Amino acid sequence: MSHELRTPLNSLLILAQQLSDNPIGNLSSNQVEYAKTIHGSGSDLLTLINDILDLSKIESGTVTLELSESRFAILANYVERTFRHMAEAKQISFAITLEPNLPVSMVTDTTRLQQILKNLLSNAFKFTAHGQVHLKIGMADHGWSADHPHLQLANGVLAFSVTDTGVGIAGDKLQLIFEAFQQADGSTARRYGGTGLGLSISRELARLLGGEIRVSSVVGIGSTFTLFLPHNRASIMQPTPLLQVGALDSPRLATFHPATPRSDSTDDVVLRPASGDADILPFVQAEAAFDDRNMVAPGDASLLIVEDDPRFANVLLERAREKGFKCVVTFSGDAALTLARHYLPTAILLDIDLPDADGFTVLDRLKRDPTTRHIPVHILSNLRERERGLRKGAISYLVKPVSLERLDEEFSRIQQFLSRTKRSLLVVEDDDVQRNRIVELIGDADLLITAVDTGQKALDALKAGRFDCMVLDLTLPDIDGFQLLDLISKKPAQHDLPIVIYTAKELDRKEVARLSRVAKTIVVKDARSPERLLNETALFLHRSPASLPERQRRMLEEIHVSEGDLIGRKVLIVDDDLRNIFALTTVLERQQMVVSFAENGRDGIELLEKDPSIEIVLMDIMMPEMDGYDTMRAIRNISQFKSLPIITLTAKAMKGDRDKCFAAGASDYITKPVDVAQLLSLMRVWLSE
């Protein structure tokens, strides 16, 4: 059902977006609005489909819980980051209280718990126009159903209470709101949007987690939804079929009994680390240790460790934990980009000597992807190629074997980098107008810029403080730029200082070679030099594109498009749905790519063998006769295509599909409906090699 629903929606959304962009400029403003309305309606339909599929999987008993330790401090941070902007936008007070009796953590499925809280809090904000929304988490000694088979026997019960000062719910509606597609405001002229599935899904998830949801409400005063869960879900063998819905402090009480699960229900509960890729499991088995991927929340001090030696990976993991970092570990270079995109770690420790991928290629991918480009990469290697690593954007280069003392220094450096809210830039340019233009071009609130007009002032500034990057014009009034670089290169404290040369001087081959020994990048003043200068400094200053002003962000997007151009590159689309082929071909031909297509896996392999110059493949998974998995395995068995980039585009989107795609030979993975910008970005990353 997922495939059948998402596949037509994929082409609808892609083509509607293409029309709304109006690249040729031949549509009227009204027609552009029509296209935006189609795209918006399609997006709403996608949300509805996702909710229906969630509910369907729960009711059919095909949901697998991944139980792990969930820390309440991390959960509170997740909720704060998710809803703070909503509270500020509606000018509503928002508070989160962790009661004193609360333990440090609980054992449950963290993702499902977050989903329930997100649904409850979304409703609270939606139906509250003024006042406050309050989440309180603590241990409970009463309040749940007296006959609840699991909470009654649980060794500790937790209560998650979401209280609002919203419109409230009438007593006769308390049972109705948990029914699918039902809302308390269910009239044809209702004021509030939504599908009415959020509470239905939350109710069923609470049951799977061994708990229940209860609600109390007074019309015009507000509501309190309380989720009761056992402290340790792993101690419960079967999910409960009973959910109580009623008023906590009111004589009105409604008892709701959802359909009893079928006797052939396949609900499964497993106790293992939540894993985005299967490669961590050998590490867990061999080293008897977990990484922290299921504990990492956005904003946490976290590291991605890419290291194929289990013993050294374990050393890095334990040492990093001692320094207060949460860690995600992988042995696979191919998995590094996906994990970095998903977890957005504080920093990445990257082994260059990897069995499945060249480490410098992995570094290049990380630094070409706008999502991960700003993450500092610390290289660990047996190879002595320090300058090559730093030139590609690494922040440091450690040569193995690395002592524990040196590791501790590196972790301290990461902590210092994390604690500094502003990066520092030194601009050395003798022309006042040009110097001011550079400052205006690059500057923003996240930067401290020191701008000087002579070489001696530059040396004084470097002696007085540390800088994250330096922009240098070679033509200076007192010291030749080459001499200044020689002086800087002799100072040990400046060995890792990225220096971007920004000059109008014509450079011969010897001068370029001389500069390359000390400067990480040479930027020659030309028609696009401002964009290139912004791009290079953003790389070495580790500035996230998402945090940049709109003008700078657009400039970076333009330079990335031009540098990672898709013009003339050959792509093969393998998909059995002609609508998707048409939609993707429209997008890719607009990028002036050369597009071939096949409607099944066998034809796709034949096309590759006839035209081995094809550079990248977009592979659908659900196809007749030979599906995407078998097609990718067959392609990987052909020696000349072992490293051919293959991006899977799948509408199936079920649990474990990503791991199956990678195991079958995929280079990357995107779910349908396809985000066109993400797809083009990924293609540029993979084709950049």
Show me where the domains of the chain are located.
2-59, 71-265, 291-419, 423-546, 570-687
Strands 253-256 and 105-108: unpaired
Cα R_g (the chain), whole angstroms: 28
In angstroms, the Cα distances linking 559 to 3, 144, 669 are 36, 58, 25
- CB 367, CB 539: distance < 8 Å: yes
Contact 340, 366 (CB under 8 A): yes
CATH of domain 423-546: 3.40.50.2300
Confidence at residue 134, expressed as pLDDT on a 0 to 100 scale: 95
Are 231 and 155 in contact, with CB atoms under 8 Å apart? Answer: yes
205 in Cβ contact with 55 (< 8 Å): no
pLDDT for 655 equals: 57
Q: Residue 80's closest CA among 345, 301, 375, 300? A: 300
Cα-flanking dihedrals φ and ψ of residue 638, to 5°? -95, 120
* C-alpha–C-alpha distance, residues 469 and 542, integer Å: 10
CB 355 within 8 A of CB 308: yes
Query: In whole angstroms, what is the distance from residue 356 CA to residue 308 CA?
Result: 9
- CATH homologous superfamily of domain 71-265? Histidine kinase-like ATPase, C-terminal domain (3.30.565.10)
* CA gap 383, 395 in Å, rounded: 16
Do 213 and 148 contact (CB within 8 A), yes or no?
Answer: no
CATH superfamily of 291-419: Response regulator (3.40.50.2300)
Cα–Cα dist 236/210, whole Å: 7
**Beta strand segments in 280-419, E:** 302-306, 326-330, 347-351, 377-381, 396-399
Q: Which tokens go with 12? A: 């609808």
What's the confidence (pLDDT) of residue 132?
93
Longest dimension (CA), the chain: 89
Whole-angstrom distance, CA of residue 503 vs CA of residue 525: 6
pLDDT at residue 32, rounded to an integer: 87
Beta strand 396-399 pairing with 347-351: unpaired
Of 511, 518, 454, 451, residue with least CA distance to 490: 518
309 DSSP 8-state letter = -
How far apart CA 528 and CA 94 sit, in angstroms, is 46
CA distance readout (Å), 245 to 113, 205, 249, 255 = 18, 15, 12, 5
- The tokens of 36 are what? 């935006």
Give me the residue label for tokens 């809210």: 421
Query: What's the CA gap between 438 and 80, in Å, rounded?
Result: 37
Identify whether the C-beta of residue 650 lies closer than 8 Å to the C-beta of residue 622.
yes
Which residues of the chain are modeled with pLDDT < 70?
Answer: 1-3, 62, 153, 179-196, 234-290, 298, 505, 518-528, 559-564, 651-656, 689
User: Token pair for residue 615?
Assistant: 């550079």
Q: How many angstroms separate the CA atoms of 261 and 453, rounded?
A: 76
| Whole-Å CA distances, 242 to 326, 589, 682 | 37, 55, 46
Cα angle value 148/151/156 (rounded, 5°): 160
Common-topology check for domains 71-265 and 570-687: no
The fold of the 570-687 domain, in CATH, is Rossmann fold (3.40.50)
Pairing verdict, β 469-472 and 499-503: parallel
Beta strands in 525-659 (DSSP E): 570-574, 594-598, 616-620, 646-650
Paired with 646 in beta bridges are 617
Q: Which two tokens stand for residue 443?
A: 């500057």
Whole-number pLDDT of residue 260: 32
| Tokens encoding 249 | 């402090």
605's tokens: 């392999």
